[in-house]
Amino acid sequence: MTGQWWFAGDFETERMHPGANCIECHAGNGAPDFSFAGTVMGAYDDQADCRGIPDVLVEIIDANGGVALSMTTNIAGNFYSTVDANAIAMPYTARLSYDGRTREMLTPQADGNCMTCHTDMGTGGAPGRIVLP
């Protein structure tokens, strides 16, 4: 846990609501539509609005084993993309790289809404939050 929190409500910024379900919240609200989004957190059980980890490389690996998309977490630990997900061979996995270490997702996915499963309790087989390698 970073011990730093988001207190600015729905103030529109890329730093908002780390750990929250970005894609679900943005859908239909006039906000940017993300195809992939999530937060790299400090611990598996971090609560929403606890600031995550910046400068983590998040790569989407397509069904053919190639890097289809690269994102870097911002100061809140958030990453996101508006790239057309239909252009990526599904299912995909994700790979995190940070400080010379890597971690790869084991279970292929077809939905870019990372925070659906990567909650503070973990759902859908996820161990909890997305954390550093």
- Please determine, for residue 61, whether its predicted confidence score (pLDDT) is greater than 90: yes
Quote the pTM value.
0.93
pLDDT the model gives residue 69:
98
Section 45-54 average pLDDT: 95
Domains of the chain: 22-131 (2.60.40)
- Please determine, for residue 109, whether its predicted confidence score (pLDDT) is greater than 90: yes
- Please determine, for residue 133, whether its predicted confidence score (pLDDT) is greater than 80: yes
Are 97 and 53 in contact, with CB atoms under 8 Å apart? Answer: no
- Please determine, for residue 33, whether its predicted confidence score (pLDDT) is greater than 80: yes
Are 51 and 87 in contact, with CB atoms under 8 Å apart? Answer: no
pLDDT band at 27 (very low <50, low <70, confident <90, very high): confident
